[in-house]
Chain A
Amino acid sequence: MMTAEAITNAGVLDLAEMSVRDANATLQAATEGAFTLRNPGGRHALACGLMHPVSVTVEGHAGYYCGGMNKEAEITIRGNAGTGVAENIMSGIVRVTGDASQSAGATGHGGLVVIEGNASARCGISMKGVDIVVGGNVGHMSAFMAQAGNLVVLGDAGEDLGDSIYEARLFVRGSVKRLGTDCIEKEMRPEHVAIVAGLLDRAGLFADPSEFRRYGSARRLYNFKIDNVGSY
């Protein structure tokens, strides 16, 4: 049996043999190193609340809220993720090699969320500075009330993209089924192409940045003052 001391900086945590609570306590206590979570079995709240630059690989499908509140850690889910993956991420990277369910990256303040497959409804809901790159499609109501950050979608977006959006930037390569209230298409200027190119590079996904179209707020719905634009 592994001791807590032996796995402080590296190790395999097998959820067939230990509880999620114990596994998370080990990950949260580590300040560096690489860990593998085996047999996740769709359990909820895996690798949550990590505050140090550790690396975690989840070998299989995760349940709800995996990688929630992440700060500095790099988490890779080798499979699908349930509702709210990387919710309220502060920094670091959360990567899903499969699909993500609803509300991926919800309320994220910073860091990078990469969904290599599809994300379903409400991806990036209320995002507050996080960057989200989705290799496939996003479902309806994505970037709902998004406040800051970038959402890059290599596939298509569902209905009501960017509904009630504040100041986040939305980049979609494919079709948008319907734009949400107060969300409009905007000019794709060279600096936006550069943003998309940089995010694709960080995400390790390949696409021509010039193929993306940009969407954002028409600023008719909230009380926007041009004098304050520098604050955003």
Chain B
Amino acid sequence: MCGIVGLYLKDEALQPRLGALMAKMLAEMTERGPDSAGFAVYRDGPPVPTLSCLGPVGFDWDAAAASLASATGTTVDVERIADHALLRVAGDLRAARAHLIDAFPAIDVLATGEAIEIFKGVGDPMEVARVFGLEGRSGTHGIAHTRMATESAVTIAGSHPFSTGPDTCLVHNGSLSNHFLLRGFLEARGEKLQTENDSEVAAAFLSWRMREGDTLKEALEAALKRLDGFYTLTIGTRDGFAVLRDPIACKPAVLAETDQWVAMASEFRAIAQLPGVEHARIWEPEPGVVYSWGGEGMRAAA
């Protein structure tokens, strides 16, 4: 069992409260996944190319930043938060990610993008939210996850969300049965996976399909054919998010929409406290159907 929440704001006035609203949603999903948690927030404001990274205690982030600057020929700024670091770079994020993974095996690159920031940790989800200041974060949209591990160890890196490419990430409730075979298939096609987690394979699958030219909708439709197992997925993109359930709907999901926001959660109770929920259209997403929201770019992608 795991818990998923997602919140996409239509009303800009709510952006300063994004993290506070998400924290309440996440708190309600604690019982579904008390062993670890994580969240992705898409910042409002101008784009800032960023790598969200996780490292061991005492890791020398300044040395990693210097190495990255030297390898990419750009400046790198470091913002440290607990065992995470946000590396702000100028230049090619994909190359920067590949350099960090190859040169510093001790760290995990959790996300890359111009708006996305990802934080994750083990233990009480509300403690993870507190350490990384979820409540105070503003943004346009975000997704979060509480984990009850089934397919791989309870580790920080094994917590969700998993990045699926620039400014794109995924959270998963369920378990995949063909992730081992798919992992080999994807690694042979150049995907760099960092954990033993089955959900990361789903993320890498979408990343591979979109790199091959699929739109997000096409990538998710391909996932319906290739992912074997149980899943409710929520995917964040630069300017929107999408929801997909497996064709037999083994894992729960509720969607709700008002003029101000679109929300997704494993259970309605996570949505119950959102402002204006009494006027929301609330429904259960159909199995095997791709749902997506977002701006022009997202609509084009979906």
Contact = CB atoms under 8 A, between A and B. Distances in A.
Interface of A: 41-44, 61, 63-64, 80, 82-83, 98-99, 101-102, 120-121, 139-141
Contact of B252 (A83, A98, A141): A83
A139 B249 contact: yes
Contacts of A83: 252
Interface residues of B, number: 16
A80 B278 CA distance: 12
A141 B247 CA distance: 12
Interface SS of chain A: loop
B283 interface: yes
Contacts of B229: none
B248 interface: yes
Contacts of B249: 102, 120-121, 139-140
Interface string B274-302: 00000000111011000000000000000
A140 B267 CA distance: 20
Nearest to B28: A42
A142 to B, nearest CB: 12
Given A120-B249, A121-B249, A140-B248, A99 B283 contact: yes
B267 A82 contact: yes
A83 B1 CA distance: 14
A120 B269 contact: no
B284 A63 contact: no
A82 B268 contact: yes
A99 B272 contact: no
A44 B268 CA distance: 10
A98 B268 CA distance: 13
Contacts of A139: 249, 286-287
Nearest to B272: A41
Contact of B269 (A42, A101, A102): A42
A12 B283 CA distance: 28
A82 B268 CA distance: 8
Nearest to B270: A42
B252 A101 contact: yes
Closest 10 CB pairs of A and B: A42-B269, A42-B268, A41-B272, A42-B272, A120-B284, A121-B249, A61-B268, A101-B284, A63-B269, A41-B269
B243 to A, nearest CB: 15
Nearest to B31: A44
Contacts of A140: 248-249, 287
Given A101-B252, A120-B249, A140-B248, A43 B269 contact: yes
Given A121-B287, A139-B249, A63 B282 contact: no
Contacts of B2: none
A218 B269 CA distance: 42
Contact of B268 (A80, A102, A120, A121): A80
A61 B282 contact: yes
B271 interface: yes
Contacts of B272: 41-42, 61
A99 B287 CA distance: 16
Contacts of B254: 101
A63 B268 contact: yes
A41 B27 CA distance: 14
